[in-house]
Structure 1
Amino acid sequence: MSDLAESLRWYERVFGAERQPQFDHRSTAGVLYAHIIDVPGLGLLELRCAPNTAKAISGYDPVTYAVPTRADLLAWVDHLDALGVGNSGELRGIIGWVLVFRDPDGLAVRLYTREHHEFDEANADVDSPWLRLSADAEVVDAKP
């Protein structure tokens, strides 16, 4: 994270996360460098301030979260749209459906359905700019 306070606000707003201030991390000089948050359905996550790293991995998607159904994925699209968070909208994956959006530092967050369709690489949205694997990928701010 390049801005710990901004990232905390974003995770609270988007994921309903709750900060666990008793677990805040501080250097020996007393400088706050990490928050621990409790994310419903995921558990505890650490938001660590590391501006150079955040810049270097912007566009990267280190984790894909599962949602049970396509309807759940569409509910996430509605939620993100209501918050004004740019997102890919529903994309067709090779075996399911996927949604991609970015945190304040450009880190890609992917939601993929456990519900699936037949293996279908030919009709998957693999060319979507939201699914680029490179950290050099252009950050997309709105639906295509």
Structure 2
Amino acid sequence: MSFPALTHVAITVGDLDASTRWYASLFGADPVLDEDEESGSFHHTVFALDGGMLFGLHTHTRSGPDDAFDERRTGLDHIAFATTQDELAGWVARLDDLGIAHSGIKHAHYGSGISFRDPDGIALEFFAAPA
């Protein structure tokens, strides 16, 4: 039996409306789901990405710690979106068009990537395996 693929990623955001607009611009698509979860403990907005992957934004009814995302803390380091070496320059242009600050293309022996952050400071990346 092989280990299953990821089906979705869900992140908690500080301002659901602002994050929904930001991710809709980044993804070039509107959410496919926007609802209160049946338990009433959170609201989620979900985007359908290519390849069957779902990407969810959550807000919770009970407040949590009021501190910013930091990849050095135990938990999430970053989320990487798969692309190709040939598409990286296009993603730089897209991020520039959207006014999203980024690292530019960085190369390493294991692949190349562009790092950037969402409105809550969550670390994101476009990543391409070596050609």
Please report the TM-score for the alignment, with normalisation by the length of structure 1: 0.65
The alignment covers a number of residue pairs equal to 113
| 1:105 Cα deviation from its structure 2 partner | 0.3
Runs of 4+ in 1 over 6 A off after TM superposition: none
Equivalent residue for 1:24?
Answer: 35
Equivalents in 1 of 2:27, 2:66: separation in Å? 20
Q: Please list every run of 5 or more consecutive structure 1 residues that lacks an aligned counterpart in the other structure.
A: 117-144
For residue 75 of structure 1, what is the amino acid of its counterpart?
A: G
Equivalents in 2 of 1:64, 1:53: separation in Å? 25
Deviations 1:59-95 (A, max 9, x none): 4533222212x22111100110011110001011232
Equivalents in 2 of 1:10, 1:4: separation in Å? 10
Percent identity for Structure 1 against Structure 2: 28
Please report the TM-score for the alignment, with normalisation by the length of structure 2: 0.70
Q: Secondary structure at the match of 1:47?
A: strand
Equivalents in 2 of 1:25, 1:61: separation in Å? 27
Larger strand fraction of residues? 2
For residue 62 of structure 1, what is the amino acid of its counterpart?
A: H
Larger helix fraction of residues? 1
Match of 1:11 among 14, 20, 23: 23
Equivalents in 1 of 2:66, 2:89: separation in Å? 29
Equivalents in 2 of 1:40, 1:88: separation in Å? 24
Deviations 1:83-115 (A, max 9, x none): 111000101123221110101100010121123
Deviations 1:25-69 (A, max 9, x none): 24656x86211222344532211125746844344533222212x
Equivalent residue for 1:84?
Answer: 99
Match of 2:53 among 18, 43, 61: 43
Q: Superposition RMSD on alpha carbons, in Å?
A: 2.6
